[in-house]
């Protein structure tokens, strides 16, 4: 037994699922469709390469992503989702089942009919009742007839048989996040008056028929059903938590073999898995399921990214299997690192929901934290030993610089990182220091870089600023120079504003180098301005944001814009959009909007958080001083964490 396994004995103890022995208590959840496949439902080489990585994660049960079961594609939720409505799809499923089983895991295939969120290639979606969409990217509803419901059940049963023929050990059906099964179960979307609607017994009929149909079709293979412990739709007339558990009881009474407890719908007005939800927040739902159904296996993992927490949950009877997906997107070696007691090296899922944001734009999923995700099939993204060992200097220890340094060092290069301040992390440190959601997630990225840099032998020189004079002092000592010095606030952009010299750099405040007064105006309503403004407001300052554009949050990820917009409202931050400062004094700021109206905002501190300027000067200065010179991240074009990590990695794998 490896040292980490001894520390997490409950997580790594073997389990039993039906007639199958499971090597540990970890289930890879089918939480995300990859969108790597063909438009007509066939599995691609890209997908197979990705599945190989999933098979190698070390999970005891692995659930392959959901396949839609109907030929019309009414169940199809995602642009490049796989299908299993015909035998023609079997060869690739056979490969996937074999890959999973070759690694000693139990192979489960999920059957996903998206219902309300389906029909992506059609002009409609199917639902139990005519309840319009609340998110405008989904299709208008078409009510299912009784005959269509029965066809749908048959299609699920046929799909399940096909899964087993392909070599899977079991199947899973899902109501996760508001798919068809959830639509029938929920009072919000099921307003039928026939035998499939009305009472909870009637609303659960479709689920019971699905379970019966699949159990009859595949009597020797276990069936898992994913069911909401909480829909978070009750304010809109959806099910209460008690009703959710009544539906679980129906599933148990029908003989389902395992319940996967989930939380929320995609359209729910509350957050369920975003980074503003603390890890462990939803555990009570799983605990209730386990206590209510002690003889049914329970698996759970919503917003539960930490193997230590999962170990304790299994010990305490909160669930039987830890269901994990997004943390394994961020770090496919998570389970192995846990088993080897190397959790400090884990690249944590920070809940940015980049994966989902891309899916709903019909793009393949990628991960903010894992730059190789989705590129497994491309040798160019593999970390391979270098043929020519080089001495590399990396200027800047933000995510771009550290990612590049670590990747290059893993390949055998000799890497030194130069950091002008006394700590690594760059502006990510400042972001974490002001973040209202989950600062620890952001700090974990820095801790990950510290731990891995040490392990792979990256030298880090703190308090060392690299400029032309320094470069001359190390001339010919390095083969490669990587400028990852980030970006600074562009004060020149506001130098025509009267009194501009009174403006303080928002990054200085974010880093804690400068304190503000109690009445603050922030010029710039993007990521930096809002993050600093929210933090100052939370600590009692009166904050006004002045933004030149029509809207705030222009440079923030779609999946987190709503959070900043909510904070602005909740905290009472005043936002003056389509506006710019014209005069700054020690008493405040005169602001002009695009209608030509002028107003005065009293302030004792004015912060500049507007446009950012990349560190191009270093690239120009060093051009003739080193053999290879590269720029990455914000030093090239100021953007965000994802691009910094991606570019750092891409350069690191090819130097």
Binding residues for another protein (CB under 8 A): 130-140, 177, 235-237, 264, 266-274, 276, 353, 356-357, 359-360, 551, 553, 558-559, 561-566, 569
**Looking at 445-602, which runs of residues are DSSP E strands?**
459-461, 480-483, 487-489, 504-505, 519-523, 542-546, 574-576, 579-585, 588-593, 598-602
- Smallest separation, CB 575 to another protein (Å): 12
- Smallest separation, CB 267 to another protein (Å): 8
* CA distances for 391 relative to 47, 380, 468, 479, 638, angstroms: 36, 21, 19, 5, 27
- Closer to another protein by Cβ: residue 118 or 648: 118
- Closer to another protein by Cβ: residue 158 or 231: 231
Question: Among 307, 341, 351, which Cα is nearest to 26's?
Answer: 307
- Closer to another protein by Cβ: residue 202 or 357: 357
Q: 17: burial class by Cβ within 10 Å (0-12, 13-18, 19+)?
A: buried
Task: Supply φ then ψ for residue 584, to 5 degrees.
Answer: -125, 130
Question: Among 67, 229, 23, which Cα is nearest to 160's?
Answer: 67
Question: Among 488, 487, 516, 486, which Cα is nearest to 502's?
Answer: 516
- Smallest separation, CB 132 to another protein (Å): 4
Task: Supply φ then ψ for residue 357, to 5 degrees.
Answer: -60, -40
- Closer to another protein by Cβ: residue 136 or 219: 136
Q: 386: burial class by Cβ within 10 Å (0-12, 13-18, 19+)?
A: middle
Q: Are strands 612-614 and 542-546 parallel, antiparallel or unpaired?
A: unpaired
- Closer to another protein by Cβ: residue 272 or 646: 272
- Smallest separation, CB 344 to another protein (Å): 29
Residue 578 to residue 580: CA distance in whole angstroms: 7
* CA distances for 513 relative to 443, 504, 506, 510, 565, angstroms: 18, 11, 10, 8, 27
DSSP 8-state symbol, 554: T
The answer to whether 586 and 434 have CB atoms below 8 angstroms apart is no
- Smallest separation, CB 362 to another protein (Å): 13
- Quote the radius of gyration of the chain (alpha carbons, Å): 27
How far is the first Cα of the chain from the last one, in angstroms, to the nearest whole number?
A: 38
- Closer to another protein by Cβ: residue 395 or 573: 573
- Smallest separation, CB 559 to another protein (Å): 6
DSSP 8-state symbol, 503: P
* CA distances for 460 relative to 142, 425, 442, 452, 573, angstroms: 61, 12, 20, 12, 40
- Smallest separation, CB 236 to another protein (Å): 5
- Closer to another protein by Cβ: residue 20 or 236: 236
What torsion do the CA atoms of 619, 624, 629, 632 make, to the nearest 10 degrees? Answer: 0
- Smallest separation, CB 379 to another protein (Å): 33
Residue 501 to residue 511: CA distance in whole angstroms: 20
- Closer to another protein by Cβ: residue 38 or 566: 566
Task: Supply φ then ψ for residue 358, to 5 degrees.
Answer: -75, -40
- Closer to another protein by Cβ: residue 361 or 461: 361
- Smallest separation, CB 17 to another protein (Å): 28
- Closer to another protein by Cβ: residue 134 or 292: 134
3-class SS of residue 506: helix
Residue 379 to residue 646: CA distance in whole angstroms: 16
Hey, how many other C-beta atoms are within 10 angstroms of the C-beta on 579?
A: 24
- Closer to another protein by Cβ: residue 364 or 631: 364
- Smallest separation, CB 596 to another protein (Å): 15
Strands of the sheet containing 574-576, edge to edge, are 504-505, 605-608, 519-523, 542-546, 574-576
- Smallest separation, CB 130 to another protein (Å): 5
- Smallest separation, CB 365 to another protein (Å): 12
Query: What value, to the nearest 5°, has the Cα angle with vertex 37 and ends 138 and 119?
Result: 25
- Closer to another protein by Cβ: residue 132 or 379: 132
- Closer to another protein by Cβ: residue 164 or 273: 273
The answer to whether 484 and 633 have CB atoms below 8 angstroms apart is yes
Residue 537 to residue 539: CA distance in whole angstroms: 5
- Smallest separation, CB 237 to another protein (Å): 7
Task: Supply φ then ψ for residue 254, to 5 degrees.
Answer: -80, -10
Structure tokens at 224: 């898992």
- Smallest separation, CB 288 to another protein (Å): 22
Structure tokens at 323: 């269901």
Structure tokens at 216: 């009859």
- Closer to another protein by Cβ: residue 285 or 453: 285
- Smallest separation, CB 355 to another protein (Å): 10
- Closer to another protein by Cβ: residue 139 or 413: 139
- Smallest separation, CB 100 to another protein (Å): 26
The answer to whether 75 and 118 have CB atoms below 8 angstroms apart is yes
- Closer to another protein by Cβ: residue 369 or 400: 369
Question: Among 554, 546, 569, which Cα is nearest to 640's?
Answer: 554
């Amino acid at each position: 037994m490896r040292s980490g396994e001894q520390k997490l004995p409950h997580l790594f103890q073997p389990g039993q699922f039906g007639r199958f022995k499971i090597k540990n208590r970890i289930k890879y959840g089918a939480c995300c469709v990859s969108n790597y496949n063909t438009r007509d439902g066939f599995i691609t080489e890209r997908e197979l390469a990705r599945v190989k990585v999933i098979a190698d994660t070390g999970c005891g049960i692995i659930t392959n992503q959901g396949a839609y079961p109907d030929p019309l594609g009414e169940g199809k939720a995602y642009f490049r989702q796989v299908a299993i409505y015909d035998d023609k799809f079997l060869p690739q499923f056979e490969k996937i089942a074999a890959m999973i089983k070759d690694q000693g895991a139990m192979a489960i295939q999920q059957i996903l009919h998206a219902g309300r969120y389906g029909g992506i290639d059609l002009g409609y979606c199917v639902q139990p009742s005519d309840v319009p969409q609340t998110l405008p990217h989904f299709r208008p509803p078409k009510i299912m007839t009784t005959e269509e419901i029965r066809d749908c059940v048959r299609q699920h049963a046929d799909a399940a048989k096909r899964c087993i023929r392909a070599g899977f050990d079991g199947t899973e059906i899902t109501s996760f996040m508001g798919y068809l099964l959830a639509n029938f179960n929920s009072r919000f979307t099921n307003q039928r008056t026939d035998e499939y609607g009305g009472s909870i017994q009637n609303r659960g009929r479709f689920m019971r028929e699905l379970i019966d149909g699949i159990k009859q079709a595949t009597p020797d293979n276990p069936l898992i059903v994913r069911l909401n412990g909480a829909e978070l739709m009750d304010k809109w007339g959806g099910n209460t938590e008690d009703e959710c558990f009544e539906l679980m009881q129906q599933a148990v009474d029908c003989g389902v073999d395992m319940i996967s407890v989930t939380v929320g719908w995609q359209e729910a007005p509350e957050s369920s898995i975003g980074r503003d939800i603390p890890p462990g927040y939803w555990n009570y739902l799983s605990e209730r399921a386990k206590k209510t159904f002690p003889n049914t296996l329970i698996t759970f993992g919503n917003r539960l990214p930490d193997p230590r927490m999962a170990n304790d949950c299994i010990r305490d009877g909160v669930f039987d299997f830890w269901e994990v997906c997004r943390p394994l997107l961020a770090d496919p070696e998570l389970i192995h690192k846990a088993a080897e007691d190397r959790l400090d090296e884990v690249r944590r899922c920070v809940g940015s929901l980049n994966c989902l944001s891309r899916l709903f734009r019909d793009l393949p999923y990628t991960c903010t934290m894992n730059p190789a995700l989705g590129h497994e099939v491309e040798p160019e993204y593999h970390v391979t030993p270098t043929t020519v060992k080089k001495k590399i200097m990396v200027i800047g220890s933000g995510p771009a610089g550290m990612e590049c340094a670590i990747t290059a060092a893993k390949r055998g290069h000799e890497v030194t990182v130069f950091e002008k301040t006394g700590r690594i992390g760059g502006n990510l440190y400042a972001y974490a220091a002001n973040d209202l959601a989950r600062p620890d997630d952001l700090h974990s990225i820095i801790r990950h870089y510290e731990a891995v840099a040490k392990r792979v032998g990256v030298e880090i020189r703190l308090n060392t600023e690299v400029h032309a004079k320094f470069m001359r002092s190390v001339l010919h000592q390095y083969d490669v120079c990587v400028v990852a010095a980030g970006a600074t606030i562009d004060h020149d952009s506001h130098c025509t504003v009267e009194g501009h010299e009174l403006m303080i750099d928002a990054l200085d405040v974010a880093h804690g180098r400068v304190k503000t007064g109690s009445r603050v105006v922030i010029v710039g309503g993007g990521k930096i301005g809002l993050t600093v403004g929210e933090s100052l407001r939370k600590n009692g300052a009166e904050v006004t944001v002045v933004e030149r554009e029509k809207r705030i949050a222009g440079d923030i990820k779609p999946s987190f814009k709503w959070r900043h917009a909510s904070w602005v409202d909740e905290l009472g931050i005043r936002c003056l959009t389509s506006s710019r400062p014209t005069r700054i004094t020690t008493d405040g700021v005169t602001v002009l909007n695009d209608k030509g109206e002028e107003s005065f905002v009293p302030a004792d501190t004015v912060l500049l958080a507007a446009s950012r300027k990349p560190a191009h000067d270093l690239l120009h200065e060093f051009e003739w001083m080193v053999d290879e010179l590269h720029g990455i991240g914000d030093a090239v074009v100021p953007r965000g964490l994802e691009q910094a990590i991606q570019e750092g990695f891409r350069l690191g794998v090819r130097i």
